Structure 1
Amino acid sequence: MEKFQEIYQRAAQRKGSEAMLEQLLYAPLSNKQLKCLPDDAWLEEFTRKVFQSGFYWSVINSKWTGFREVFWDFNVEKLLMMPPDMLEQKATDERIIRNFKKVQTIPENAYMIHDVAQQHGSFSQFVADWPSDDIIGLWAYFKKHGARLGGNTGPYTLRALGKDTFLLSRDVEAYLRGHKIIDGGLQTKKSLNSAQHFFNELQQQSGLSLQVLSLLVSYSVGDNRVGIQTTEA
């Protein structure tokens, strides 16, 4: 396995200098900051990521004001009281992307958030307290208890709202496969455990967040040299 310094120096070389690389790195929120997020924010971001799956993200984002209007700013308590016939009506509203199966995930994920909040004080508290050295365990929780939150949907929601996580982006996956850290299916238990172990090792060597390490790994490979815009890693 490569050492942290090898990955860092290659990423810096590809980006032109250490100074240029550092400008591209950004840290996650602190646990204290995460705990201050309203639980409605999680429902909104889960929904955004569910709808972005299979669509151009720009299309979903252009409709987002309409989503917020139709679903009461993703107020969890209001949505829990919504009768099924009202959900069906909202699913046909022209202000949103009219995909009933994806619309159904909104109350389902609202129930998950509510249930977790009942046990842990708030959903944000639950997420903030989850240890980063087992972040794949939180991914698995979302997949098991939420609706359409498997694959990259859960991890990308965590990244969007500031929870420390690595991402299995195309560049990160290419690195892990190229260095024989994973093989076979990307979302298998074996691959996920291997990826978590790899990032935990890097974290022990560097003291950096999983988020920064994930970015560094992605910048060290692939088509993201100086002057080329990258996808989120």
Structure 2
Amino acid sequence: MKYESFDDIYSRACQRKGGVEALESLLSEPLSNKQLALIPDDRFLAQFSMSIFQSGFVWRVIRNKWPAFEEVFWEFNIEKLLMMPADMLERKSQDVRIVRNFTKVKTIPANAQMIRNIQLEHGSFAKFIANWPESDIVGLWLYLKKHGQRLGGNTGPYALRQLGKDTFILSSDVESYLRAHSIIEGGLYSKRSLDAIQRAFNHWQSESGRSLTELSRLIAYGVGENTVQA
């Protein structure tokens, strides 16, 4: 597979975003593995839950209500959540301070259990995430989808990005680029497509030394309706 060079990707993003300085100001680095490993596991559960509630909803509304979510669900204390009886969970799901969606509320203890299982095997969920190689980031996506609840599609990747894990995001702009350059043809989240996407990003990372986070944004800035006059 012949990929477009990183220099061409970067040059196009520069032209569309007003030059190198303007473009670089839009980029951000992920956390280091050491920094990731220090994040409390309850913050992973909180971010997973926030991303699940934001999916298909107005993100701003969820952010505004999030302090109430933290209060209602004991700041996402994993041990407390796993001890919570079913009738209490149902009552909490009807609290007027949060978004009352019982289907999504049920993912909170379910994903707490996933995190607890990983804690027992790896010491902490944060270390598990930190040690997962970025060269197989789609493997982590698939793990979260299989062992968690409602973490498939872009929900898991967006949560990882917010937490600081280095990952690309398959936004509509990135997907458009991948299809236009014949990197993928079928379903976006098929194993064949995900493997092809991972190989492409690994190639650009090897070529450029840039993080997956930066590469994803650079590709997105080079397509779509986001041109800025220089």
Bin for the TM-score computed over the shorter chain: over 0.9
State the distance in 2 between where 1:92 and 1:2 align. Answer: 51
Amino acid at match of 1:117: Q
Instruction: Give percent identity, aligned residues only.
Output: 61
2:210 pairs, out of 187, 203, 208, with: 208
Partner-residue secondary structure (3-state), 1:95: coil
Misfit runs of 4+, over 4 Å: none
1:4-45 Cα shifts (integer Å, max 9, x gaps): 000001100111111111111110000010000000000000
1:132 counterpart residue number: 134
TM-superposed CA distance for 1:46, in Å, is 0.5
List runs of 5+ in structure 1 lacking aligned partners.
228-233
2:183 counterpart residue number: 181
Matches within 5 A, 1:36-47: 36-47=38-49
1:160-185 Cα shifts (integer Å, max 9, x gaps): 00000000001100100111111121
1:108 counterpart residue number: 110
Amino acid at match of 1:140: L
1:26 counterpart residue number: 28
2:84 counterpart residue number: 82
Partner-residue secondary structure (3-state), 1:166: coil
TM-superposed CA distance for 1:65, in Å, is 1.2
1:160 counterpart residue number: 162
TM-superposed CA distance for 1:61, in Å, is 1.1
Amino acid at match of 1:7: I
2:93 counterpart residue number: 91
2:55 pairs, out of 41, 53, 56, with: 53
List runs of 5+ in structure 2 lacking aligned partners.
none
State the distance in 2 between where 1:31 and 1:54 align. Answer: 31
State the distance in 1 between where 2:47 and 2:122 align. Answer: 20
Partner-residue secondary structure (3-state), 1:33: helix
Please give the TM-score of this superposition, normalised by the length of structure 2: 0.97
Q: CA RMSD in A?
A: 0.8
Please give the TM-score of this superposition, normalised by the length of structure 1: 0.96
